[in-house]
Structure 1
Amino acid sequence: MEQLTDLKAILHSKRANIYYLEKCRVMQKDGRVVYLTEDNDQKQYWNIPIANTTVILLGMGTSITQSAVRMLASAGVLIGFSGSGGTPLIAAGEVEWLSPQSEYRPTEYIQNWLAFWFDENKRLTIAKRFQQLRIDYLQQVWRKDKELQSYGFYIDDADVEKALSNCNDKISHSSSVTDLLTAEAQLTKSLYKIAAARTQHGGFARDHAGEDDANAFLNHGNYLAYGLAATTLWVLGIPHGFAVMHGKTRRGALVFDVADLVKDALILPWAFICAKEQMSEQEFRQQCLQNFTQHKALDFMFEAVKTLSLEGSQL
């Protein structure tokens, strides 16, 4: 059986796997975590490399044993219960993650975070920095991603430059979080319009309950980003309730803040592209995970939160 220290040998920011499982049983077997599937009266066991995994989403028709949860917790793997296809994310009736418990997580980041969080002006300053980093990351990804460019997504196109420039101006002049949320919503709406035009999705309207592929893929991809964000915050020891942008009465709000760092850059365009190409949900999910790895999304989230934690404590 692997030792506890071995299970955490790979840093979370470097781990490669996110699992979405349905219609199976997750269990511990011979010192490993496996999932059991049954097909035509045949049982098959599939290994989960937990030391290289960040998140496991358990979809419809799944069960998990206590011994498997214990091993996943020892490896620092977050567990989420979800509906079909990974959405909606549910546990105890609300957005929630089953976090591995450890008394030895770092304290420096939560202490730095709390040093500024209770001051509204300092919190606003960090919220602005979140939005600036979000735009910086989008520019970085779209500038070098040749596959995105093959579908017409260029960072120096006039409509893209205008949308980002307008948002930057609004961020710098925002005097409240409400102003920032308005600027964020307008940017995302502009990017929806740009992506719809590039992929011939005439008349697209964002509808979280929409059954068309583009809306379904946006929902699904966003939940994958939430998994990365929740992992980042758990590893750094910052509770999910200390948000700087989203509603501070919502327990998971900081997860949404951190996930927003990468959603526009990586999830939004590919939701439209994969819908255009009539890809399956599984193919879209694989594309998202490939994008996360290619553009080091988890690394970026870690560095952003660590940097902003330090900046905030020095305000």
Structure 2
Amino acid sequence: MKDLSPSDLKAILHSKRANIYYLEYCRVMQKDGRVLYLTESLSNKGQENQYFNIPIANTTVILLGNGTSITQAAVRMLAQAGVLIGFSGGGGTPLYMANDVEQAIEWFTPQSEYRPTEYLQGWMKFWFDDEKRLSAAKQFQQARIEFLHKVWGKDKDLKNEGFTLTDSGIKTALIRFNERTQAATKQSDLLLTEAQLTKTLYKLAANSTKTEGFNRQHQSTDLANDFLNHGNYLAYGLAACTLWVLGIPHGFAVMHGKTRRGALVFDIADLIKDAIVLPWAFICAKENATEQEFRQQILQAFTDHKALDFMFEQVKSVALAHGEDESGENSLEKTKGEQP
């Protein structure tokens, strides 16, 4: 059998990769040309080591939680395969890097000089123009609602739990959202409109799952808030992966503020949070699911509804469309794939 180097494993585009891993109380290492994680378990024979393979060619993000360590050789292979590595607390939240920064969105990103440049060039063509940056933010907000319609209209499990857009209150909120989004003259207007819609969706979710007295708290106070935090961080991982592959730095946000570190990750993650993370957080809380069960449900929903594909499509569309010159012709060559 021919030996494969990690660079040979890049045949799977990031938008098509299926796996996000959250690991805790284990050691990640390289062994025989593979990346494995090692756990210890007790058996009749005493303490035994168990090895599990990580299919790095089909993985986007690895979150390392409590009690984990990773070898330099493993990091090298993960970087060569284009896998993002994040360090987090228990359950995947909050997300840390090398230092202990509460709620920071930081990643150790794989280093490659061969990422595409056209998307960053397109982004830079519009980003310094306030009106074009606002227009890009509006496009993301419209895409967010389109994805909500698509997922909630298609997912039978969500429909069975009462998550539909036929409710009169939701219809009114969406009409108001569209009107205010179009009329917005600055990013703060969009953020206020977004907050009002999300508040309505929280109310629908609480009513559908009979969750009494829900109040959104980022400092977790109940299971629904726990799952919202957890699911949001998984969405941040997909967003960070999308931006890294397309070569766009996290600091060039269009909505969450030019000075907020990693703000573009928030912008991109918002595309899918309302449609997928929000309803499943409430449903799993109602069912008293474990963190692992919730995580498996969210990751499956990301795959079923092609959330990563959708992120790539929207970011590429904004980068190329808003990077047009004054004649209306795109000065950047559109590429078929994510990587050269």
Q: TM-score range by the shorter chain?
A: over 0.9
Code of the residue aligned with 1:17 in structure 2: it is N
1:63 maps onto 2:73 in alignment: no
19, 25, 36: which one aligns with 1:34: 36
Partner secondary structure for residue 322 of structure 2: helix
Q: Distance in 2 between matches of 1:299 and 1:86?
A: 23
Gaps spanning 5+ residues in structure 1: where?
Answer: none
Partner secondary structure for residue 313 of structure 1: coil
- Partner residue, 2:82: 76
Aligned CA RMSD, in angstroms, stands at 0.9
1:125 maps onto 2:131 in alignment: no
How far off is 1:287 after superposition?
0.5
Structure having the higher helix fraction is 1
TM, length-normalised to structure 2: 0.91
- Partner residue, 2:328: none
8 Å CA contact 1:163–1:191 kept in 2: the answer is no
TM, length-normalised to structure 1: 0.98
Partner secondary structure for residue 63 of structure 2: strand
Gaps spanning 5+ residues in structure 2: where?
Answer: 326-340
- Partner residue, 1:45: 51
- Partner residue, 1:308: 318
- Partner residue, 1:162: 172
1:7 maps onto 2:9 in alignment: yes
Q: Distance in 2 between matches of 1:2 and 1:264?
A: 40
Percent of aligned positions that are identical? 68
Q: Runs of at least 4 residues of structure 1 off by over 4 A?
A: none
Q: Distance in 2 between matches of 1:166 and 1:283?
A: 36
100, 106, 113: which one aligns with 2:110: 100
Q: Distance in 1 between matches of 2:318 and 2:199?
A: 26
How far off is 1:307 after superposition?
0.3
Q: Distance in 2 between matches of 1:254 and 1:49?
A: 28
8 Å CA contact 1:241–1:249 kept in 2: the answer is yes
Partner secondary structure for residue 73 of structure 1: helix
Code of the residue aligned with 1:2 in structure 2: it is L
Residue range with higher mean Cα deviation, 164-173 or 254-263 = 164-173
- Partner residue, 2:203: 193
How far off is 1:211 after superposition?
2.6
Code of the residue aligned with 1:233 in structure 2: it is L
- Partner residue, 2:123: 113
- Partner residue, 2:252: 242
- Partner residue, 1:24: 26
- Partner residue, 1:256: 266
301, 321, 331: which one aligns with 1:291: 301
Number of aligned residue pairs: give it: 315
Code of the residue aligned with 2:226 in structure 1: it is A
8 Å CA contact 1:163–1:187 kept in 2: the answer is yes
